[in-house]
Structure 1
Amino acid sequence: MPRTPQPRTAVLASADLSFRTRVREALTGLRWEVQEAQGGAEALAYLEARPCEAMIVDTWLPDLEIQEFLAECEKRHPQTDLIAVDDPGPERGPERTQARSPRRNEVLLALRRGQDADHEPQGDGASWNGMPEMTPVHDRTVVREEIFVRGTAVVEATRPGAEPGPGTVRLPELIGEAPAMLEVSRRIRLVAPRAATVLVQGPTGSGKELVARAIHRLSPRANRRLVALNCAAIPDTLLEAELFGHTRGAFTGAVQGRIGRIEAADGGTLFLDEIGEMPLALQAKLLRFLETGEVQRIGDNDPIRVDVRIVAATHRSLAEMVKAGSFRADLYYRLAVFLIRTPGLGERPEDLPLLVERLLARMAEQAPVRRLSAEAMERLRQHAWPGNVRELQHVLERAAILAAESPEIGAAEIEFGETF
């Protein structure tokens, strides 16, 4: 009896969902097993988990620069055949030292099928001149605040453990080129494709929720929900029900049952902002969920198993809270599997002009376009920014109102309000 041919295995790395779909279908028809990745970090994680025969890489990735990514793959996984969308092929370029699959022609055939409907001229006729569509999250497209152009040389990936350099890739959610901000982007790229719990620490207004959204966007859970909960915004008496849900009649006022935020995030990511404000009694229940993966609604006897990744954030030092007895040490160690620190604006003054430009551009969507005078910018530079980027946004909004019909914001319109 003839043996059934063993399937080939390949990883397909592209941010373009339609392109991935076409190539995957073509490869599946040729008896290949295909693992799809939306970015370079996710693709590397798949290679670490399971060796594969081939990897197909699009001309643009949202988190890593292509050439650096290919070099890293060649170094870590020399047995994998790397095939880039714009690869000149063995007959039109120098041979790579990388191993080549004996079935490379099948991959190239599938790749051509995937490209047939994808390479329409755009603008100047260059197919790489536009950004691919990102995977939709329910009824909205993933937020991208920065336009990245395929082939741009302004980004360069860093290897794990390396100090961020001037060319380190900056994620679109994060504005700023300061080394501390580039390090945040590097850490996000490293942890996003994994299941590890992340703790984001930083002062209020420094962009901790943006970090959580970037982690979710670059993770394998990106096509599921990101559910956010501010632990400081909900009274202690209601926080447990908000997290775990409740049955009808479980407590006074519970006229109907409802699921909690944890259950709502099943398959996706739960962002717990201001985790340091969670009361001790509820910390124990959250710890149990993290250890067992089960939630129990208030008033219900049966636990429910869910698959949720936790990203927590705080402006306080949880380590100091542990010493003071106001935060559980076991929960802290469970949350702080991977730490990311968001710097305050005062720690990265070189990013101020870029932030001002971006915030004014946003404001121009609803009001006349404004520009900042040199004197006004100097006044902004001299401020300490205790309220960080959020304070800068409010200062610029106030200045735009004070400027009335003038197209320019002057130093006289820059008001900081009271400090404390």
Structure 2
Amino acid sequence: MNAGTNASGAPGGVRTVVVASADSSLRARLRVSLTGLRWQVREANGGAEAMAQMDMARPEALLMDTWLPDLEAGEFAGLVRSMFPAVDLLRVDGAAEPGGVRSPRRNELLHALREARDTGGVVERVELEEAHGLTVVPPIRETRVSGGGATAGLPELVGESMVMQDLGMMIRLVAPRTATVLIEGETGTGKEVVAKAVHRMSARALKSFTVLNCAAIPESLLEAELFGHTRGAFTGAVQSRTGRIEAAHGGTLFLDEIGEMPLGLQAKMLRFLECGELQRVGDNEVMRVDVRVIAATHQMLEKRADEGTFRLDLYHRLAVFPLTVPALRERAEDIPALVEFFLDAMGKDAPRKRISARAIEMLVEYAWPGNVRELMHVLERGAILAGDRQVIDEADIRIRRRR
């Protein structure tokens, strides 16, 4: 560590604390007290914004309210513990989360908490800043994160390009909420990976992540697969079966290739999304389930809705929070990191191979119509063609040379 930095990497002894609370008055009082103690204060209205602030600032401490509008406090604390183990985590009542680190300046934090509680009342931001001459870091509106080969806090997303950092920020913002998510992107871009990241960072992370590919099941069986069926509901239904929606109760249902869902079934899916109720095929009983739906498509659903092949109301219900996964050609700077990621993965079952500089150049120059999935297959084939050689070279890379 350089002499001019503190434990959190800030220059000149300045340390950073994130204050997470929906109570703007409490945040303002804490900001006054902490700034007087030479802390740089970053404010967050809820858990998702606090996670983004921590990604950007790498704070020494986090002060969190006992209630957050978008995430259960205990779940949020667990996420912080796993993703930011070096952060001193205190609740606004002064209690420290068990098992965490202790800042060498925790006494200053506790003093600020006592002072904020004792002050009480509503304090306007402008009055505070004028009275104390404060320069305050405002709540963020846009976040850029970097580090390693993966998007910070999201090991599933490999790459440091701006488009991937933007995607990571959006995932962190929506994950703690219950909003339906529609993931759009070309085939092979990793839409299921994104869906799993949303699930992992949500309050449902310990529950099931259930997947259904709407294009892989015959239309005649898709309704029963989704909603379940009773014994004798149709020819071949020799026993009752739980559907994917019911199986995902408490967790997340990922509907891949939602654009392939038949129009008739789309109406039933819309009703489920609106009221959370379902009926098994052949059953009159209605049951309620608690499921978060994440859908994915490589098609332009809004255009299909204009053409009458996809319900517009279902599109709007799914696209409460759309996420777009960029094509690999749009983030060619991430290819070297992706290559190392895949070589590491292949190295778990066989001697780990390296790749030559010229081979990397070929990969970066290629247009990748099959996106990340195609890159993975090209590397697998290259490793096989390399045989006993430790290095995958230009001759082992079998792709079209022209964009």
Q: TM-score, normalised by structure 1?
A: 0.68
| Mapped partners of 1:91, 1:417: distance in 2 | 59
1:350 maps to which of 318, 333, 337: 333
| Mapped partners of 2:385, 2:343: distance in 1 | 14
- Does the 8 Å contact 1:56/1:82 carry over to 2? no
- Does the 8 Å contact 1:318/1:327 carry over to 2? yes
Shift of 1:321: 1.0
Q: Partner of 1:336 in structure 2?
A: 319
User: Does the residue aligned with 1:212 lie in a helix, a strand or coil?
Assistant: helix
The percent identity for this pair of structures is 50
Q: Partner of 1:388 in structure 2?
A: 371
User: Does the residue aligned with 1:172 lie in a helix, a strand or coil?
Assistant: strand
1:161 maps to which of 141, 149, 156: 141
Matched, 1:86 2:66: no
Shift of 1:164: 2.4
* Number of equivalent positions: 324
**Residue identity in the other structure for 2:191:** K
Matched, 1:192 2:175: yes
User: Does the residue aligned with 2:323 lie in a helix, a strand or coil?
Assistant: strand
Instruction: Assess, with a 3 A threshold, how the Cα gap between structure 1 residues 66 and 274 changes in structure 2: closer, same or farther.
Output: farther
Instruction: Assess, with a 3 A threshold, how the Cα gap between structure 1 residues 203 and 55 changes in structure 2: closer, same or farther.
Output: closer
Q: Residues 329-368 of structure 1, C-alpha deviation per residue, up to 9 Å, x if partnerless?
A: 1101111111111111111111111000010111111122
Alignment map for 1:264-279 (pairs within 5 Å): 264-279=247-262
2:277 maps to which of 294, 306, 310: 294
2:295 maps to which of 312, 336, 343: 312
Q: Residues 217-237 of structure 1, C-alpha deviation per residue, up to 9 Å, x if partnerless?
A: 111111111100001111111
Q: Residues 261-319 of structure 1, C-alpha deviation per residue, up to 9 Å, x if partnerless?
A: 00000111100011111111100000010111111011001111111000111111111
Alignment map for 1:352-367 (pairs within 5 Å): 352-367=335-350
| Mapped partners of 2:279, 2:66: distance in 1 | 32
Matched, 1:47 2:27: no
Instruction: Assess, with a 3 A threshold, how the Cα gap between structure 1 residues 399 and 91 changes in structure 2: closer, same or farther.
Output: closer
- Does the 8 Å contact 1:55/1:82 carry over to 2? no
| Mapped partners of 1:314, 1:229: distance in 2 | 12
Instruction: Assess, with a 3 A threshold, how the Cα gap between structure 1 residues 334 and 97 changes in structure 2: closer, same or farther.
Output: same
| Mapped partners of 1:268, 1:55: distance in 2 | 15
| Mapped partners of 1:45, 1:340: distance in 2 | 30
Instruction: Assess, with a 3 A threshold, how the Cα gap between structure 1 residues 96 and 329 changes in structure 2: closer, same or farther.
Output: farther
| Mapped partners of 1:187, 1:278: distance in 2 | 26
Q: Partner of 1:247 in structure 2?
A: 230
- Does the 8 Å contact 2:366/2:401 carry over to 1? no
Q: Partner of 1:282 in structure 2?
A: 265
**Residue identity in the other structure for 1:209:** E
- Does the 8 Å contact 2:333/2:364 carry over to 1? no
RMSD: 3.7
Q: TM-score, normalised by structure 2?
A: 0.71
